Structure formats: C-alpha cells, structure tokens
Amino acid sequence: MEIRVGGVALAVGVVLAASAVTAQAPASEAPTANLAQVMRAILFPNSNIIFNVQAQDPADPKPSYRPGDGGFSWVDWGAGIYTGWEVVENAGIALEEVTDLVTKPGRVCTNGNPVPLEQPDFVIGIQRLRDVARAVQAAAREEDQEQVIELTTQLAEACYGCHQVHRIAPPGGENRCVP
C-alpha cells in the first residue's frame, strides 16, 4: 500500500513491518564465551587500567606512541582515541556492565560446568565488583586519583574473593570454577 503526502510516497507496509520487527526483541542467545574468556577479554584489561592509576595520573599528558618505537603493541594501538580520566571511567563502566555478562544464563566455566550463579560467595563477589566499578566511575568523573587508588584495594579484594574459591588452580591442579 502506498500513501502520498505532499508528493512523497510512503510505503506503509514497509513501515509497519519495520515496527513489528522492532517491537519483537530477539530472544537472548546463549553465551558464546566461557567465563575465563570473558575475564581475559573484559575484566583483566579494564581492571589493569584502574590499577595503573596507582602509578600514572590520568591527567598527565599521554606518552607519545609511534609504530616502531619498540614494536607493535595491541594495548597502544588505537589508545589515543580516548585519554585521561575518560579511560578510567570507561574501565569502570566496562567492569560494571560485565557483571551482567558474567551472570548471563548459560555461561559456563572452562571445565564446561555452569558458572556458580547461585553460590553465595559468587553472588557477593559479583555485587562487590559492581559496587567498586560504580565507585571508580564516580571517582574518575571527579578526577580523584587518590580515591581511585583507594578503590584498587576493594577491586583486588572483589577479584580475590571469587578467585580463591572458583579460579583455576595452579598448573597441574584441578579446574575449580565450580568447587
């Protein structure tokens, strides 16, 4: 069906079809990564950004990086797009948002067992991570290096609280994602 408004033809069928597709949210897909992969891809690098505030003031000028200054670095590549405190705030955002990814139904550990979503220590660990991530965001918006440094202890404790129970044991040890 076509409607003309002021000489412009509107394809009502296309508009209605697009509206129907938009209204029907796709079903949540099963996670594609295991817990360790999510940790390595999101939690590890973003936590390190926050930990680095202990040694580097995000307000200081960023050191220059030029290809060939010591080899290619995936960390440095593209790093100039966002700088300073925005990088720290973004790391806090990533840590807060990843809590939903970690707890996504169907996520498994490297040993194939389900992530221990119902275990109290895991639930507490996720909440502690979420809380410290929010606090890091607030401190970064205030450009408060001392506060972020203080929060690194809480971040380390949140990580360690889960790792001591659920992390893969030392080489030769048993995979402990689910005790």
Burial of 149 from C-beta contacts in 10 A (0-12 / 13-18 / 19+): middle
pLDDT for 76:
65
pLDDT digits (tens, 9 = 90+) for 118-149: 989 899 999 999 999 999 999 999 999 999 99
Residue 74 within a domain: yes
Total domains in the chain come to 1
Residue type, 27: A
Q: Where are the beta strands (DSSP E) in the chain?
A: 2-5, 8-11
- The domain of 118 spans 31-166
pLDDT for 82:
79
Q: Which of 163, 35, 167 is nearest to 176 (CA)?
A: 167
Residue 132 within a domain: yes
pLDDT for 110:
85
Residue 152 within a domain: yes
Residue 146 belongs to a domain with what CATH number? 1.20.120
Residue 2 within a domain: no
**Average pLDDT over the chain, rounded to an integer:** 80
Strand partners for 3: 10
- The whole-angstrom separation of Cα 153 and Cα 50 is 11
> Is the pLDDT at 17 greater than 50, yes or no?
no
- Residues 166 and 179 sit within 8 Å (Cβ to Cβ): yes
> Is the pLDDT at 5 greater than 60, yes or no?
no
CA dihedral for 86, 135, 35, 163, sign (positive or negative): positive
* Prediction pTM value: 0.74
Placement of tokens 């040993």 in the chain: 111
Q: Which helix (H) or strand (E) holds 165?
A: helix 145-166
Task: Work out the pLDDT band at 24, boundaries 50, 70, 90.
Answer: low
The SS3 of residue 114 is strand
Residue 149 within a domain: yes
Residue 43 within a domain: yes
Residue 4 within a domain: no
